[in-house]
Amino acid sequence: MPRRSYNDESVVATFTEDNKTKTKYMSPRSVRLASHDKTRVAYFHDEGVGNYHYGERHPMKPHRLTLTNHLVLNYGLHQKMEVFQPRRATDSEILEFHAADYVDFLKRVTPDNAEEFEQVFSKFNVGDDCPVFSGIYEFCQRYAGATIEASRKLIANASGFCYVNDIVLGILELLRYFPRVLYVDIDIHHGDGVQEAFYSTDRVMTVSFHKYNGDFFPGTGHIDEIGSNLGKYYSVNVPLRDGIDDVSYVWLFQEVIDAVIGTFQPSAIVLQCGADSLGCDRLGCFNLSIGAHGKCVQIIKEFKIPLLVVGGGGYTVRNVARCWTYETSILVDTELSNDLPPNEYIDFFKPDYQLHPHLSGRLENMNDRQYLLKVRERVMEQLRYLDAAPSIQMQEIPPDIQGFLDGDAELRDAEDDSEIGKEQRRRREVMAEAEWYEGDDDNVGEGVDSVWAKDL
């Protein structure tokens, strides 16, 4: 099969300029559920979120968000969007999904007093992968607040974009106004948290494209994980092998997404654009170019359904910034020069200083045609159990995830189990001197089976 590049004009639409660029804090807006004739894009960025530090040798770098924002600004993309400085999430908003003792722990723990909390580290999964660092709870408030505010903005606008997120909280907010929400994840790691949160409801369909071999972090995402109870068949997993290339990935993505949207008929979409699925990622093992990664954004955008785009993994920071800048340009229908504009962090992008470096073809593609066809057929078979989009009675969403799922449980109890089985076959220190950052091996994907923090 001949190789194709997705770094061409075919993924860029004509741009209609809107010079009304605004920077403001969020305020309540009226609800609009009708389709949008004109795409409006809102960009959410907290300038302080890039100033946190997980540790010198930790691969998760919040500073990548600062690099991304500088590229967005110096390309002039902010002139084609409404720009928002999001507020921080409140305690009560974070408690909608997280346990009170866990939130209290995050508020109290610091590097100076961490020893006092060691007895609960294992309970809260805190340690080498998810370390205690200065300002940890404030950091969580910043990125959760961005997604919550972007979700609220989406109620009135066709497209929202932010690079920090707490996806479950964002989806809960969307469910207050949209009958059905589709979550699509193109991070190399399985979207286990969002899947688990909505595993038993038919109002959220989760679709994850990820590496799966049973061992690769987080170890979930088998194609047979399809949901339960009312949510049976509403979790779609697309397990992939090492080295998948542009043509294979984009073909399978298009096939699956066309079928999912045609069947589920979502009223809003959340797209998680984890950049660790790019070739040459520190913790990744795919061969995707930035162009192909962006093509997935273009495919979703062309459905003209209200869309929230959020960041995810990505551990070669210069490529993360390139990727998310390019995908921002897709959302605002703007073609960018391959030569990066001068900016404060331009030295991060040497030696080529280009938007689209060569990232693909360094690993053997273990996804042969037979395997891809088999995965496609399994997904299509699962979707065939969904006769049509679920009929949703728009009721007030309870203030937390448990209340939401308990409501689904009450609906299940009211139905005959056998009938459900027939009808419902269907998750301040930016750079230290000893930083593990850019080096000679930075563009060599290591394909390791663990990761420190998936979603940012």
Tell me the pLDDT tens digit for each residue of 12-47.
Answer: 222 222 333 333 333 333 233 334 446 789 998 888
Is the pLDDT at 3 greater than 80? The verdict is: no
Q: Hey, is 62 helix, strand or coil?
A: coil
Residue 281 annotated as part of some ligand binding site = no
Q: Is 333 contained in some domain?
A: yes
Residue 314 annotated as part of some ligand binding site = no
Q: Is 14 contained in some domain?
A: no
Residues in the chain: 456
Tell me the pLDDT tens digit for each residue of 125-139.
Answer: 887 778 788 888 888
Residue 313 annotated as part of some ligand binding site = no
Residues 83, 18 contacting (CB under 8 angstroms): no
Tell me the pLDDT tens digit for each residue of 294-314.
Answer: 999 999 999 999 999 999 999
Token pair recorded at residue 294? 């962006």
Predicted local confidence at residue 336, as pLDDT = 98
Most confident of 111-125, 140-154, 180-194, 406-420: 180-194
Q: Is 442 contained in some domain?
A: no
State the pLDDT confidence band at 413, using cuts at 50, 70 and 90.
low
What's the CA gap between 23 and 78, in Å, rounded?
10
Q: Is 456 contained in some domain?
A: no
Measured torsion, CA atoms of residues 69, 17, 29, 46, in degrees rounded to the nearest 10: 10
Beta bridge partners of 43: 83, 161
Tell me the pLDDT tens digit for each residue of 76-120.
Answer: 999 999 998 888 888 888 888 778 888 888 988 888 888 888 888
Domain count, the chain: 1
Q: Is 455 contained in some domain?
A: no
Tell me the pLDDT tens digit for each residue of 338-384.
Answer: 999 999 999 999 999 999 999 977 899 999 999 999 999 999 999 99
CATH assignment at residue 274: 3.40.800.20
Is the pLDDT at 227 greater than 60? The verdict is: yes
Residue 187 annotated as part of some ligand binding site = yes
Most confident of 83-87, 145-149, 158-162, 178-182: 178-182
Predicted local confidence at residue 332, as pLDDT = 96
Provide the angle, in degrees to the nearest 10, between the axes of the packed helices 246-264 and 290-301. 20
- Percent pLDDT > 70 in the chain is 72
Residue 258 annotated as part of some ligand binding site = no
- What does the DSSP 8-state code read for residue 294? H
Residues 335, 15 contacting (CB under 8 angstroms): yes
Q: Is 128 contained in some domain?
A: yes
Predicted local confidence at residue 389, as pLDDT = 57
Domain residues for the domain of 161 are 21-423
Token pair recorded at residue 399? 């203030």
Can you tell me the mean pLDDT for 441-447? 40
Residue 315 annotated as part of some ligand binding site = yes
Q: Is 429 contained in some domain?
A: no
Is the pLDDT at 451 greater than 60? The verdict is: no
- What does the DSSP 8-state code read for residue 36? -
Q: Is 257 contained in some domain?
A: yes
